[in-house]
């Protein structure tokens, strides 16, 4: 089984941290390919960043289809390009936010999200609503940590993450914590031990679920919304994204 884990930003150090988290739950016979796109922002902290990063994600999905990939994980908490990616392949495609919410729902009646910057909290709320977890998510909090600081100053970031998580648990009564950034994956186990509640890293959750779906031979439906998009010309800088069968 081959799972392609796509870090939608272009920071290679973070891609390697994400790969390490994925390998923690990889089963015998599972190959993890962790990649950054060939283009895109170095970190994702805004709607603009997500829009740019989505193109790199789609490029990696198309490349993965030529490489015999069995499943894909989009390792950014905004799940950028997730729906579009599901149109390009019938292999399971999982976003780490959606996977983390599902995992958290198995651990108790409620969870809180602790993420990086407060400007991303709106996106987290949107995803919780879209995925149907509004009744379970009881708290949204940010540590005011820039994404790249997770790689450059992990100890300071961990302390802020632990402090904010304790505050969420005390004030909301959440049963678990969902980490709101793929770059936090390496802090998950330490935080679990410190808080004494389940702490869910979306990378591990998504890879685990991806393996289960492949084993069960469950694929993305191609009969409706996620059918291959109609072929049509794409012009200008995006011409390389023209689908096969369309005149360029």
Q: What angle do helix axes 154-172 and 188-195 make, rounded to 10 degrees?
A: 40
Question: CA end-to-end span of the chain, whole Å?
Answer: 35
User: Given this model, what pLDDT does residue 248 score?
Assistant: 43
Cα Rg of the chain, angstroms: 18
Average pLDDT, consecutive stretches of 10 residues, N- to C-terminus, the chain (248 residues): 98 96 96 97 96 97 95 98 97 98 97 97 97 98 94 93 97 97 94 97 98 97 92 92 70
Phi, psi of 204 (to 5 degrees): -65, -40
> Position of tokens 């958290």?
104
- Partners of residue 201 on adjacent β-strands: none
SS3 176: strand
Q: How far apart are CA 99 and CA 230, in angstroms?
A: 29
Q: How far apart are CA 9 and CA 155, in angstroms?
A: 22
| 97-201 shares the fold of 2-95+205-241 | yes
CATH number for the domain whose boundaries are 2-95+205-241? 3.40.50.12500
Q: Give the containing element (helix H, strand E) for 140.
A: strand 137-142
User: Given this model, what pLDDT does residue 4 score?
Assistant: 98
User: Given this model, what pLDDT does residue 199 score?
Assistant: 98
Q: How far apart are CA 153 and CA 20, in angstroms?
A: 18
For the chain, the structural domain boundaries read 2-95+205-241, 97-201
User: Given this model, what pLDDT does residue 245 score?
Assistant: 59
- Which pTM was predicted? 0.95
User: Given this model, what pLDDT does residue 244 score?
Assistant: 80
Q: Answer yes or no: are the C-beta atoms of 75 and 152 closer than 8 Å.
A: no
Cα of 177 vs its chain's centroid, Å: 16
User: Given this model, what pLDDT does residue 139 score?
Assistant: 98
CATH number for the domain whose boundaries are 97-201? 3.40.50.12500
Q: What is the dihedral of CA 32, 38, 42, 45, to 10 degrees?
A: -80
Q: How far apart are CA 228 and CA 209, in angstroms?
A: 23
């Amino acid at each position: 089984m081959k799972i392609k884990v796509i870090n939608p930003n272009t920071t290679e150090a973070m891609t390697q941290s994400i790969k390490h988290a994925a390998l923690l739950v990889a089963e015998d016979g599972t190959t993890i390919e962790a990649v950054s796109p060939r283009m895109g922002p170095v970190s994702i902290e805004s709607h603009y960043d997500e829009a740019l990063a989505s193109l790199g994600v789609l490029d990696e999905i198309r490349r993965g289809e030529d490489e015999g990939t069995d499943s894909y994980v989009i390792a950014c908490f905004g799940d950028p390009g997730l729906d579009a990616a599901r149109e390009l392949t019938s292999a399971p495609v999982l976003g780490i936010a959606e996977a983390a919410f599902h995992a958290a729902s198995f651990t108790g009646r409620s969870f809180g999200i602790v993420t990086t910057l407060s400007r991303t909290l709106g996106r987290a709320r949107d995803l919780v609503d879209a995925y149907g977890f509004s009744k379970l998510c009881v708290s949204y909090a940010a540590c005011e940590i820039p994404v790249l600081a997770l790689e450059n100053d992990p100890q300071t970031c961990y302390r802020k993450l632990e402090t904010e998580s304790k505050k969420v648990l005390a004030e909301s009564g959440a049963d678990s914590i969902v980490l709101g950034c793929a770059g936090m994956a390496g802090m998950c186990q330490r935080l679990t031990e410190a808080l004494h509640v389940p702490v869910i890293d979306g990378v591990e959750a998504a890879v685990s679920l991806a393996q289960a779906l492949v084993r069960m031979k469950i694929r993305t439906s191609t009969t409706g919304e996620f059918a291959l998009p109609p072929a049509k010309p794409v012009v200008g800088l995006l011409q390389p994204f023209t689908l096969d069968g369309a005149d360029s």
